[in-house]
Amino acid sequence: MTTIKSTAVKPDTTMLPARAATSPIAAALRQFARSPAGVAGAVVLILIILATLLGPHLYGVDPLDIAGAPLTPPDADAWLGTDYLGRDILSGLLQGGRATLAVGGVAALITIVIGVTMGSLAGFFGGPIDTALVKVTEFFQILPPLLFAMVLVTLFGQSLVVVTLAIGVVSWPSAARLTRAEFLRLRNLDFVKASRAAGGGNGHLILRVVLPNALPPIIVSATLAIGVAILFEGGLSFLGLGDPNTMSWGLMLGQNRNYVLDAWWTVTFPGAAIFIAVLAISLIGDGINDAINPRLRKRG
């Protein structure tokens, strides 16, 4: 018996150093670095963020000041032209990006926090708790999100905070359903049962055992939620429901929409900025999806 033991384990020992220290997160990051689309998206998004953080200081024109004649085409003074009030478009893009990205990020965070809380409680406990929470989720889901957000903004005022909260409040149901589905799949797996058999309480099981294993699709959907929230903010602003005192890409679109045919530059540049930012975020989401999807990882 002893001889069998020692021979049986030897090959494993020699292989150990090479395979050690591959945490799932490190492996996912390495895999993400191999996805060209994901890396491209990350580079573009980082450039956009840097531009919005540093650009206003370098360019030095206040986005709300009158910089020239209204609707001046792009020239040497205003590189991207001016809008219907004579405000500098490039300055607006650089400054407005901050608000747009912040609204996207915070609204996505709200979406995920509400969605994951509802979904994990429903999926983990099942039974009457599940039924009740699913009913609440469905209630929010059947309301048309744009109309619902418009109602919220109209009721509580056109400020950036209200817009952000409104976007978060109307978009969490899909995150809740995704989380619930993952919890339903995971909660009966052996390692969850084993944790319970070792005396783990519900809080421990939800936060430390099930949730980390449910995270991959949630991370992907959180990334994509940022893009959706940016589009949402653009849509609300376009309809005139954005915060008129804070420059954002959506606001630029909304305020200049009457001059589309006369001054293409007033809407083309903010529109392109939204398009590129959302595209970059989608590419990152795809890259993360590839990196943490085990079926694809084995192929790579």
298 binding other proteins? (CB under 8 A): no
Smallest separation, CB 218 to other proteins (Å): 14
Q: What does the alpha-carbon distance between residue 219 and residue 239 come to, in Å, rounded to a whole number?
A: 30
206 binding other proteins? (CB under 8 A): no
The burial class, CB within 10 Å (0-12 / 13-18 / 19+), for 252 is buried
**The binder of other proteins chosen from 128, 190, 261, 298 (CB under 8 A):** 190
**The binder of other proteins chosen from 147, 193, 262, 264 (CB under 8 A):** 193
127 binding other proteins? (CB under 8 A): yes
For the record, the structure tokens of 246 come out as 């804070």
194 binding other proteins? (CB under 8 A): yes
281 binding other proteins? (CB under 8 A): no
Of 209 and 252, CB closest to other proteins: 209
Piece of the chain touching other proteins by CB under 8 A; list 12-20, 52-60, 81-89, 151-159 = 12-20
Site size for other proteins, by CB under 8 A? 35
Single out the residue of 251, 205, 260, 257 nearest to residue 230, CA to CA: 251
The burial class, CB within 10 Å (0-12 / 13-18 / 19+), for 58 is exposed
Per-position b or e across 72-87, b if 16+ CB within 10 A of its CB: beeeeebebbbbeeeb
Single out the residue of 232, 235, 233 nearest to residue 246, CA to CA: 233
Q: What does the alpha-carbon distance between residue 16 and residue 46 come to, in Å, rounded to a whole number?
A: 37
**The binder of other proteins chosen from 139, 156, 191, 275 (CB under 8 A):** 191
Q: Residue 245: beta bridge partners?
A: none
Rounded to a whole number of angstroms, the CA Rg of the chain reads: 24
Piece of the chain touching other proteins by CB under 8 A; list 50-58, 145-153, 197-205, 230-238 = 197-205
203 binding other proteins? (CB under 8 A): no
**The binder of other proteins chosen from 47, 73, 208, 275 (CB under 8 A):** 208
198 binding other proteins? (CB under 8 A): yes
What would the x/- binding string for other proteins be over residues 210 to 249, using CB under 8 A? --xx------------------------------------
Q: What does the alpha-carbon distance between residue 300 and residue 292 come to, in Å, rounded to a whole number?
A: 12
Q: Beta-carbon neighbour count of residue 90 at 10 Å?
A: 19
Single out the residue of 190, 150, 197, 154 nearest to residue 170, CA to CA: 150
155 binding other proteins? (CB under 8 A): no
Piece of the chain touching other proteins by CB under 8 A; list 43-51, 199-207, 225-233, 281-289 = 199-207
188 binding other proteins? (CB under 8 A): yes
Smallest separation, CB 122 to other proteins (Å): 15
Sign of CA dihedral 125, 128, 131, 132: negative
Smallest separation, CB 276 to other proteins (Å): 35
Site of interaction with other proteins (CB under 8 A): 1, 4-5, 8-9, 12-13, 16-17, 19-24, 126-127, 188-191, 193-201, 204, 208-209, 212-213
